[in-house]
Structure 1
Amino acid sequence: MPVERRVLLRTDDVLLADVQCGCPPRGWTPAREATVFGLVMVRRGLVRGRVRGREQLLDPATVYVERLGAEQQFAHPRGDDVYTEIVLSEPGVAALLGGDPEVPEGLVFTTPELALCHRLLLTRARAGADAFELAERTASVAARVLGHLAPDRVASGRPRTAQARRRLADDARAALGADVNQGLDALAAAVGCSPHHLSRVFRTETGTPLSGYRDRLRLARALDRLAEGERDLAGLAQELGFSDQSHFTRVLRRTTGRPPGRLRALLSPG
C-alpha cells in the first residue's frame, strides 16, 4: 500500500504526521497488534477498523484511539484516505491521564471545537511553526480527544485553587525567563505539571499561550540586541532558539512589521 507520511513534529514524546494512503488493497489488512498509542484523525475518505474483532467506522467526524497491544485490521472501502496521526510516548499518555498510561477503549466523535483545533494545528505546522508551539497544540488536541473518554482522569492534576494556578503560571514565566529555549516537556517537568495542564492554566492566567509568551520574551531580547547594534543575525537567531535566520526574520516581520535591519536602524542611538 503506497503510504506517504510527512512528519510535521518529532520529539522524544510526540510524533505528528500528515498521512496519505493511496491505492489501498481490497479487503482487510492482516491482523497486527498496535505497537504505539496513537490518534488517527481521518480528514478525507472512509476507513473500517476491526479492533479485537469489533468493527468500527472511521470518518472525518471521528477519532480512532489506537491502544498499545490491541489487535487491529483496517479496510478502505472508498480507496484513498488522508488522515492526521498523533503518536504519544507512554509517559506522554500518562501525563494526560492523571499519571496512568492505560488508555480507555472507545471511538471519539469530534466536536466543532476539536475539528477546528485539529486543523489549526496542521495550519501552523505547514506554516513552519517551531516544535514548542506544535507540541503545545498537539497536547491540546490529544487532551481534547482523551477528555471524551476519561474526563475525570484528564482533569486530575490541574491546580484546584486560583492561588495555585497563579503560582504555576508565575513559575512557568520564571523558568522561561531563565531559559527561553527549553522545550515544552522540559518546562512542564520544571514546574511539576503536565504539558497540557500547564498550557491550559497559563493561557487562562495570562491571556496568551505559552508559545506566544515565549515569543514575547524572545522579541524583547532581540530588540535589545538590535538596539545595541548586533549584526550577526544568524548567531542571534541561534542564541534565541529560532531554527535559522529566516525563521527569526519571519517572526520579527510578523510581530513588528519590520525586518531586523530596519529595526536596528530605528533603534540605534545614531
Structure 2
Amino acid sequence: MRTVTNLATGDGFSLERVRIRAESETWSPPEVATAYRVVLVRSGAFRARVDDQVLLADPALAYLGGVGQELSIAHRPGIEDICTAVTCSPGLMRELAGDEPPRAAALPVNGRLALAHRLLVSRAGKGADSPELAEMVIGLMGDLFEARNRAHPARARGRAATLARRRALVESVRTLIADDLSASLRDLARRVGWSPYHLSRAFRQVTGMTLTAYRNRIRTMRALEAIEAGHDDLAALAADLGFADHAHLTRTIRGECGLTPVAVRRMLAVPSG
C-alpha cells in the first residue's frame, strides 16, 4: 500500500510525504521522472534503482533522481517505509547544483540535515507560507549537495567486480543494522561471511564512515523521530536504541545535530519565526 500526502507546493518545488508498506520485495514498475526529486528517508530502508544505479536508501542516505531517468523501488515486505520527497524544477535544481546537476546521486545525511528535514516537514504541517518553505527547501537542498561534495568517500581502487561485491556487502550490513542496532562488528561479519577486519575496512571505503559512526547516526535519526513524536523519557529512549546511557544519547545527538535532545524537542515543538 502506498500513500502520498502533499505537504506544500511553492516556487519551483513541491513537498510530499510518502508511506509504503509492500507485500513483496519485487521492483516497482519503472517511472520516468519529469523533474528532479530528492528523497529523504524518515524511517525504514529500501532499494532504489535510478537507471542502472542501485543503492540502499535509509535515514543516513538520501538519493536524487534526475529528469528523464527511470526510477524503480524495492521495499522489504511487511515493513513500513516513510520518506519525504522534495521535487524541484530543472531551473531550481540548476540554481542549487550548477548548470549540469548530477542525474543521479547518493546524498549523505548527518544529524543536522536530518533535523533540518524534520523542521521543514513540521513547518509545512503547521501552515508556514510559501516563501518561508522555499527558503527552507533551498537551504536543505544546498546543504545536502555541499555535504556530498565534502564527505563523498574516496573511490576504492580495484576491479569493477570487486568494487560491486564490496558495495553489495556493505548494503547488506546496512540492512542488518536497520533491523538490529545492537549487532556487533563480529556478529555482522559472521552474518555476511567476512572477517571483522575486512568488513570494517570495506564499510569505511564504501560509506566514508566507520561502522560505529554509522550505527550512531542511525540511532540519532530514530531518536529524532521519537522526540518529535513526543517521547520524553530520554533514559528509556537511550536504552531502547542501544546507547550506553542517557549521557551517551545526549553526547551523540549533540555531536550529530549540534543540539541537545531537550533543545531538539523545543525546536520541533515550537514554530520558528
Please give the TM-score of this superposition, normalised by the length of structure 2: 0.51
Q: Is contact 1:7-1:18 (8 Å) kept?
A: yes
Counterpart residue number, 1:58:
57
Listed as ranges, the matches of 1:74-89 within 5 Å are 74-78=73-77, 79-89=79-89
Shift of 1:12: 4.2
Shift of 1:25: 4.2
Q: Is contact 1:49-1:72 (8 Å) kept?
A: yes
Amino acid at match of 2:66: R
Amino acid at match of 1:81: D
Shift of 1:11: 2.3
CA distance in 2, matches of 1:119, 1:129: 14
| Superimposed CA distance per residue, residues 157-184 of structure 1 (whole angstroms, 9 cap, x where no aligned partner) | xxxxxxxxxxxxxxxxxxxxxxxxxxxx
Please give the TM-score of this superposition, normalised by the length of structure 1: 0.51
Counterpart residue number, 1:142:
141
Task: Find the residue that maps to 1:56 and give its secondary structure.
Answer: strand
| Superimposed CA distance per residue, residues 40-84 of structure 1 (whole angstroms, 9 cap, x where no aligned partner) | 001111111122333210111111111112223210014321100
Counterpart residue number, 2:109:
110
| Superimposed CA distance per residue, residues 83-127 of structure 1 (whole angstroms, 9 cap, x where no aligned partner) | 0010011111111123x1532542111111111111111111122
Q: Which has the higher contact order (CA 8 A, sep 6+)?
A: 2
Seq. identity, %: 30
Gaps of 5+ in 2: 151-270
Counterpart residue number, 1:96:
96
TM-align CA RMSD: 2.2
Amino acid at match of 1:46: A
Counterpart residue number, 1:70:
69
CA distance in 2, matches of 1:24, 1:69: 28
Gaps of 5+ in 1: 152-253, 256-270
Q: Is contact 2:14-2:87 (8 Å) kept?
A: yes
CA distance in 2, matches of 1:105, 1:26: 22
In structure 2, relative to structure 1, the CA distance for the partners of 1:12 and 1:121 (3 Å cut) is closer
Q: Is contact 2:22-2:75 (8 Å) kept?
A: no
Q: Which of the pair has more CA radius of gyration?
A: 1
CA distance in 2, matches of 1:130, 1:81: 28
CA distance in 1, matches of 2:25, 2:34: 24
CA distance in 2, matches of 1:56, 1:92: 25
Counterpart residue number, 1:241:
none
* 4+ aligned runs moved over 4 Å, structure 1: none
